[in-house]
Amino acid sequence: MTQTSDPAFFVTPQGRRIAYHLTDGAAPAVVFLGGFKSDMMGTKAVFLEEWARREGRAFLRFDYSGHGESDGASTDGAIGDWFEDARAAIGLIAGKVVLVGSSMGGWISLLLARDMPERIAGLVTIAAAPDFTEDSMWAGFDDAQKAALETDGQVALPSEYGDPYIITKRLIAEGRDRLVLRDPLDLPFPTRFLQGTADADVDMSVALRLLDHASGPDMRLTLVDGADHRFSDETCLDLIQTSVVDVLQSLT
């Protein structure tokens, strides 16, 4: 699965230049929101775009600021910035959208659902990581890491996906203003949560907590035995596609 065309760009109200690919097609459009330090060239994003092209479905994928081909450095950004980028990206599309949020993109999808429920027709999350800056990062820091964050403004965390993650003080502090698991979370549309049991980055207890915390008329959680955080093998990709189709069919 490859994508050779150059991206288009738009500028957010905050002045950030964002790269995106928008495929024309039937409404509601499907919008893919990627994870922390990932980009729109990932397996899941491109897989869904190819499905959308075959089905004649409108589809949008984009890079948050500091990610992929968008301008900026990831260390300058925070959850609120990337939420604003996503909200501006949805502004490229008329009518309602179905969100597909992966990892951090799941958190941002939930923020969008809370901010603009009138625009959201349905939601699929993949290993959603709501509130991870607080519940996973900050809660997992030892005293030395917390002290380094305060004095140096950042701390490096190892990553199995490549270079270490540089976690900034602003990322942690700003994330506390964007938490979604502390207050009521209404999801008044078809919602499908997908989670692997072998996910080393987002424990399946997070998915169970999200399902228990959120409220909505049509929410389902699917656990995939042995699936990891990438959730990108053939079985998982088929399940993502099936879940998106299920949401779309629920709207008819």
Q: Any bridge partners for residue 181, and if so which?
A: none
Structure tokens at 201: 């980055």
Q: How many residues does the structure list for the chain?
A: 252
For range 40-60, the mean pLDDT: 98
pLDDT tens across 142-192, in order? 999 999 999 999 999 887 777 788 999 999 999 999 999 999 999 999 999
Q: What is the pLDDT of residue 94?
A: 95
Instruction: Report the alpha-carbon distance of residue 63 to residue 59 in Å, rounded.
Output: 14
Q: What is the bridge-based pairing of β-strands 97-102 and 165-168? A: unpaired
Domain 8-132+183-250, CATH among 3.40.640.10, 3.20.20.370, 3.30.470.10, 3.40.50.1820: 3.40.50.1820
Q: What is the pLDDT of residue 220?
A: 98
- Cβ atoms 3, 46 nearer than 8 A: yes
Q: What is the pLDDT of residue 2?
A: 46
For range 82-103, the mean pLDDT: 98
Instruction: Report the alpha-carbon distance of residue 115 to residue 164 in Å, rounded.
Output: 32
Instruction: Give residue 1's pLDDT band: very low, low, confident or very high (50, 70, 90).
Output: very low
Among 229, 245, 234, residue whose Cα is nearest residue 194: 229
**H helices of 17-153, where?**
43-55, 79-90, 104-115, 132, 139-140, 143-152
pLDDT tens across 53-81, in order? 999 999 999 999 999 999 999 999 999 99
- Cβ atoms 95, 30 nearer than 8 A: no
Instruction: Report the alpha-carbon distance of residue 21 to residue 7 in Å, rounded.
Output: 6
Instruction: Report the alpha-carbon distance of residue 87 to residue 176 in Å, rounded.
Output: 19
- For the chain, give the mean pLDDT: 96
Task: Check whether 221 has a pLDDT greater than 60.
Answer: yes
> pTM for the complete prediction?
0.95
Task: Check whether 135 has a pLDDT greater than 80.
Answer: yes
Q: What is the DSSP letter of 135?
A: I
Task: Check whether 252 has a pLDDT greater than 80.
Answer: yes
User: Domain locations in the chain?
Assistant: 8-132+183-250
Structure tokens at 59: 């589809």
Q: What is the pLDDT of residue 78?
A: 97
